[in-house]
A and B are shown apart, each in its own frame.
Chain A
Amino acid sequence: MKKFKKSLAVVLTLAMVVASMTGCKKDKVENVDTKDTDTTVVTPGAESTPVPEKVVVQDVTLKVWASEEEQEVMTANCEAFAVAHPEYNLTFEYAVIGNAEACDELKKDLEIAADVFVYPSAAIPELKAAGILYPITIEDAEVVKQSNGAGAITACTSDDLLYGVPQSPNSWFMYYNKSLFTQDDIKSVEAMLAKDLGDGVSNFSCKISDSWFMSAYFYALGGTLYGTDGTDPTSCSWNDANGLTVGNYLINLSKNIKYVEDIDGIASSLFKEGKLGAVCSGTWSAVDFKAALGDNYGATVLPTINVEGTDYQLSNFADFRAFGVKSNTAYPIPAQQLACFLGNEQSQLATYVDQGIAPSVSSLAQNEIVAADLAVTALLQQSNYSTPQPSTPQLSEYWNPAIAFGTGIINGDITEANLQESLDAMVKSFTTKLVE
């Protein structure tokens, strides 16, 4: 029995030790699970005007995402931000996530996501519905709204709240071979297709099988996707009479031997061999096409299409790369300020000079360095003809059926016979939700 009492004493002491240890461990896990966000941050004094008397310097750590090649210029811009805000003791963390991957990474794990990141404004409906974005409402936002064009701000706004600071238009226009087409030719698709450029040379290339490009044709004839302002998830006019006309136009275009579908980067190779007149693409191809065409490099706005005697301007989706702030950031005000700063004129000019990324700030369009860049000028001019991307979350249902429709046309599966049927099926897929 004595042995038992002794063992019991040992056991109880051990028990207390273990309890305290496991208790601590569980606490730490708990902390990670339910992150405590101190949301009311009070900074003494206004945001950026330095106060002469005692300024309480706040420690701020901000994580920033940018693509690999933009890391340098992003670091420089962030350092400039730090200089402009002496009231913060800023530490920056950088990681490599570009425009394309940002949405997926944000949805995967918001806790370790960057406070400020670059993402496409087209994703605003879905990210906002998922509660990932922080509305940008500080005073600096007013400056943002003034310095950018209306299109940019509309693209980055939802329900009257600004969710992103525009950095660059992310859209497409047309490149062409100056030795093959004159300024008059490139104004309309018909003029381009009519010109005889020789054997084995294609005149015009686009990517109908990509839903991002295909919409331009429907928008040209005034079709509406999700209502006239893009907020009605049940309405789409693409299967009405106009839509039928567009469908037929696309079918005929794909069958035209002077047209080639731009898949797998074929356009670049054709340009190099002088076998292509014009192609629709964006600024990501600028470097490559410039190398391929040399002195014959030209870029311009999208052409018009001629349907039943009238010319209609092709109208692309107005999409923008924007700086966003995540909703569970620990430093909402500094993060919003950083986002606005990274999108201001000075930062955009630096980014353009370093990486050739087109700026969205209106004043920079007149800047001589920028104006000399054909691709950027074309992009900025095209934004006058762009249609704002729909802001309803239902937009996520648009992309796949549209790809299926475009692919069907290119493959010849969709013909005039089943065109109306296909259009109806497509519109139905756009506008229905499966289950609540």
Chain B
Amino acid sequence: MKKKLIHVGESFTGCMRQYTGGNIFVKLSAILMGIANIRYGQIVKGIGYLCLQIAFITYMVSTGAASLVNLDTLGTHKQEMILNEETKIFDVIQGDNSMRMLLSGVVAMFVIAFFVLVWISSIKSGIQVFHLSRDNKKIPRITDDIVSLFDSNIHRMMLFIPLAGLLVFTVVPLIYMILMAFTNYDVNHQPPGNLFEWIGLNNFKLLLMSKDILAKTFWPVLGWTIVWAFFATFTNYVGGMLLAILINNKGIRFKKVWRTIFVLTIAIPSFVGLLVLRTMLNKAGSINILLQNMGFITKALPFLTNATWARVSVIIVNMWIGIPFTMLITTGILTNIPADLYESAKIDGASAFKTFLRITFPYMFYVTTPYLIHNFISNVNNFNPIYFLTNGGPETLDYFKGAGKTDLLVTWLYKLTSDSKDYSYAAAIGIIIFIISASLSLIIYTRSGAYKDEEGFQ
């Protein structure tokens, strides 16, 4: 970490030195982007930089500066309705929309950040072209630049679209959401009639530390989320692996047919399958009816209505959905285990169980560690099974508003967003989920063998 900071610092001072060492055009390019490029013959590039600068200035003058100011205040005029005596109707004077202001403020911040990057790159490019001309080297024309995009600079070209898409559709909304956690945008502060404002860390205090019902809900739900993620990942992994081994066994024929049967469950849109299972598990659903008709039970089993039963049911149903998928993945790996390992084990007289324990399982575990971690994290955020099977229920009075005993943090978050419009709490929870997932995965992943690019295993 320290090394990285030193590195950044050095490159910065290096840049400054080059800048001050440059001639007048280089210095001017700080104010008028692209001047240096034009001077030394890179006309198209220079004009490009200049246009970007003008576009940015226009943006700032027209909406950008206002957006920044609004970001700070989040609106000052509330919507007003005044009765107009003449026309006998109310005149609606539109107020400020805090939500739109927050969003355009975030957009403005990104535009400024983007422009700063472009500005730095224009200066760097000016310095570079200055050095080239001073050393009497060839100055690349625009056509040379374009060609290099396919070769040495291919990463710039190919990463541009995906990263741009990510930026616009993922990063900007993400920052917006993060900022929302520090406001009081909830059900009582809905635009366009109301304004909301910055309240700092209040939401987090309420969530984590208060004696209020919000905190009493948060910690148990978090606990269940972790428990769920662990069991869901574990059961799917082991189950899928065992199934894959079973099918892969030499004695089984029609491997493709067996695999197909299990893969069929992946083909159905998940919410359809889950809704069907939900009707089947109800107090009066097919499974209870079947069990009663068979004489197993006299009263219906509360698969989805008792908290503990519901939690177990959810894990089991998740196995139904997830095992085919893990089976596919582990099958692929199984077929790659070198056969000579098995043969030498057979020669040594190892039983099937021992072979599994000593060869198959360790190999698979090593290879699939990143997958396991990723699966654990995605199960923390696994929305579909919980939401469509139990809707987070059974509901309870102990929890805040709509949270139920099988709710994960994500499903609770969704309910807060779409049902009760408590955006600020939802955002705070989202941030906490993110911090947990991200730190966990970064720590484990960067320490794992796969990341360090180790090959081989013995």
Interface residues of A (CB under 8 A from B): 4, 7-8, 10-11, 14-15, 18-19, 22-23, 26-27, 29-30, 33-35, 37, 39-42, 104, 107, 110, 126, 128-132, 134-135, 137-139, 263-264, 266, 327-328, 332-333, 336, 393, 396-397, 400-401, 403-405, 407-408, 410-411, 413, 422, 425-426, 429, 433-436
- Kindly state the interface size class of chain B when it binds its partner: 35 or more
- Cβ of B188 under 8 Å from chain A: yes
Asked if A40 meets B91 with Cβ closer than 8 Å, knowing A23-B58, A30-B62, A408-B396, the reply is: yes
Contact A132–B193 (Cβ < 8 Å): yes
Q: How far is the CA of A166 from the CA of B191 in the complex (A)?
A: 25
Closest partner residue, chain B, to A404 (CB atom): B395
Asked if A23 meets B47 with Cβ closer than 8 Å, knowing A135-B81, A404-B397, the reply is: no
Q: How far is the CA of A130 from the CA of B404 in the complex (A)?
A: 27
Contact A434–B79 (Cβ < 8 Å): no
B397 to chain A, nearest CB (A): 5
Instruction: Please indicate the chain A residues that have their CB under 8 angstroms from the CB of B418 in the complex.
Output: 104
Q: How far is the CA of A34 from the CA of B97 in the complex (A)?
A: 9
- Cβ of B358 under 8 Å from chain A: no
Contact B192–A131 (Cβ < 8 Å): yes
Q: How far is the CA of A400 from the CA of B399 in the complex (A)?
A: 10
Give 29 CB contacts A-B under 8 Å. A11-B34, A22-B55, A33-B104, A39-B91, A107-B190, A129-B193, A130-B190, A131-B95, A132-B193, A138-B89, A263-B282, A264-B282, A264-B285, A266-B284, A328-B94, A328-B192, A332-B90, A400-B395, A400-B401, A400-B420, A403-B395, A407-B395, A410-B305, A425-B397, A426-B397, A429-B213, A433-B188, A435-B203, A436-B184
Instruction: Please indicate the chain A residues that have their CB under 8 angstroms from the CB of B282 in the complex.
Output: 263-264
Instruction: Please indicate the chain B residues that have their CB under 8 angstroms from the CB of A30 in the complex.
Output: 62-63
Contact A434–B38 (Cβ < 8 Å): no
Dominant SS among interface residues on chain B:
loop
Give a binary string over B248-291; 1 marks a CB under 8 Å from any A CB, 0 the rest. Answer: 00000000000000000000000000000001001111000000
Closest partner residue, chain A, to B101 (CB atom): A33
Contact A328–B279 (Cβ < 8 Å): no
Q: How far is the CA of A398 from the CA of B396 in the complex (A)?
A: 14
B184 to chain A, nearest CB (A): 7
Contact A137–B88 (Cβ < 8 Å): yes
Instruction: Please indicate the chain B residues that have their CB under 8 angstroms from the CB of A33 in the complex.
Output: 63, 100, 104
Instruction: Please indicate the chain B residues that have their CB under 8 angstroms from the CB of A18 in the complex.
Output: 51, 54-55
Instruction: Please indicate the chain B residues that have their CB under 8 angstroms from the CB of A134 in the complex.
Output: 90, 92
- Cβ of B370 under 8 Å from chain A: no
Contact A11–B47 (Cβ < 8 Å): yes
Asked if A22 meets B58 with Cβ closer than 8 Å, knowing A39-B91, A131-B191, A132-B193, the reply is: yes
A130 touches which one: B193, B305, B420 (CB < 8 A)? B193
Instruction: Please indicate the chain B residues that have their CB under 8 angstroms from the CB of A435 in the complex.
Output: 184, 186, 199, 202-203, 206
Instruction: Please indicate the chain A residues that have their CB under 8 angstroms from the CB of B22 in the complex.
Output: none
Contact B93–A411 (Cβ < 8 Å): no
Q: How far is the CA of A327 from the CA of B94 in the complex (A)?
A: 9
3 nearest A-B pairs in the assembled complex, by CB-CB distance: A131-B193, A130-B190, A404-B395
Contact A434–B192 (Cβ < 8 Å): no
A371 to chain B, nearest CB (A): 36
B413 to chain A, nearest CB (A): 15
Contact A393–B188 (Cβ < 8 Å): yes
Beyond A39-B92, A407-B394, 11 additional pairs, beta carbon < 8 A: A7-B43, A8-B38, A10-B47, A11-B46, A22-B58, A34-B94, A131-B192, A327-B79, A404-B399, A429-B397, A433-B188
Interface residues of B (CB under 8 A from A): 34, 38-39, 43, 46-47, 50-51, 54-55, 58-59, 62-63, 79, 81, 83-84, 87-95, 100, 104, 184, 186-188, 190-194, 199, 202-203, 206, 212-214, 279, 282-285, 302, 305-306, 393-399, 401-402, 404, 418, 420-421
Closest partner residue, chain A, to B78 (CB atom): A131
Closest partner residue, chain B, to A397 (CB atom): B401
A328 touches which one: B92, B283, B395 (CB < 8 A)? B92
Closest partner residue, chain A, to B425 (CB atom): A434
Contact B192–A411 (Cβ < 8 Å): no
Instruction: Please indicate the chain B residues that have their CB under 8 angstroms from the CB of A14 in the complex.
Output: 47, 50-51
Contact B50–A333 (Cβ < 8 Å): no
Instruction: Please indicate the chain B residues that have their CB under 8 angstroms from the CB of A15 in the complex.
Output: 50-51, 54
B83 touches which one: A137, A266, A433 (CB < 8 A)? A137
B77 to chain A, nearest CB (A): 11
Contact B191–A130 (Cβ < 8 Å): yes
Instruction: Please indicate the chain A residues that have their CB under 8 angstroms from the CB of B283 in the complex.
Output: 263
Q: How far is the CA of A404 from the CA of B307 in the complex (A)?
A: 12
A131 to chain B, nearest CB (A): 2
A405 to chain B, nearest CB (A): 6
A411 to chain B, nearest CB (A): 5
Q: How far is the CA of A263 from the CA of B104 in the complex (A)?
A: 45
Instruction: Please indicate the chain B residues that have their CB under 8 angstroms from the CB of A29 in the complex.
Output: 63
Contact B83–A4 (Cβ < 8 Å): no
Contact B90–A135 (Cβ < 8 Å): yes
B302 touches which one: A11, A333, A411, A422 (CB < 8 A)? A411
Instruction: Please indicate the chain A residues that have their CB under 8 angstroms from the CB of B393 in the complex.
Output: 407
Contact A11–B38 (Cβ < 8 Å): yes
Instruction: Please indicate the chain A residues that have their CB under 8 angstroms from the CB of B212 in the complex.
Output: 434
Asked if A333 meets B397 with Cβ closer than 8 Å, knowing A130-B191, A131-B193, the reply is: no
